[in-house]
Amino acid sequence: DPLIINQNLVYIEQWTSNELNISTLSSPYRTIACSKDSWPAMTSNNHFLLIDQYPNLCLYDKQLTLLKEYPWEYDPIPDMCWSSTLNSFIIITGKNGVFLMNENLTSLECIQPIEKKQWLSCTCSDSTLFLTTNESGSNIFQFNLLSSFHFMKQWKSPQSCNYDELINNIAYNNETLALIIENRNNRIKRIKLRSSSTFDSLWSTTFNAAYGFAPWKNRVCVLKHNEWLVINQKNSHLLHVSKDGH
């Protein structure tokens, strides 16, 4: 006899790859006034948002209520990221090295194994910290989070980027690295996706020059379904990039 399936017991979930439609975003429900003209570094975890509001680091909750301030006594912060493995914020500077700060801003520690360079951007996986340098032909450094920031690997130009290019920003997601790369001669920007383990190139997308990207003003962050959001502070543009780079 044929198998009879009760259709009332069958549920097929519809999956859509583009849950976010940036053209239909609602108005901001709250804003934070920044303390300086340049775009402040910021990062978040599941509970808090940390913003560099010079001369303080400011910790906010999900309702953007200020919870705590920590006086920052070192040079400017180009970038920060959150490590769930260490349960700490990682803060990079251009001259004073890389720092580790706990979630409630009560402990600040300089990470001694990482030498002082002109760092520009950072991101981390569950086991690895990636840092990029602020120079033409930017280098990418890899450190082990599980063994006291032991140096693992360095990618140099032209593997990291071309000699006349600069890596503005780096972000990790699902064994991939998204890089915002700027040509310092013609200011053309592109987002490039690489494997975080082999560093193989997966795809690259060049941005239209009409977007008018300015140096140091670009960020890339992770969306659901392995998609990306590129942010240009200068012109208030949001670019939604699919997992295939479109």
What pLDDT sits at residue 219? 86
What pLDDT sits at residue 209? 46
What pLDDT sits at residue 18? 52
Query: Does residue 185 carry a pLDDT above 90?
Result: no
List beta partners, residue 225: none
The rounded mean pLDDT for the chain is 88
**Which domains are assigned to the chain?**
34-158 (2.120.10.100), 164-246 (2.40.10)
Query: Does residue 28 carry a pLDDT above 90?
Result: no
* Burial of residue 182 (number of CB atoms within 10 Å: 0-12, 13-18, 19+): buried
What pLDDT sits at residue 214? 47
Question: For the residues of 152-218, what is the DSSP string, one character each?
Answer: EEEE-TTTSS-TTEEEEEEEEETTEEEEEEEETTT--EEEEEEETTT--EEEEEEPPGGG---TT-E
Sign (positive or negative) of CA dihedral 30, 225, 238, 159: positive
Query: Does residue 78 carry a pLDDT above 50?
Result: yes
What pLDDT sits at residue 212? 47
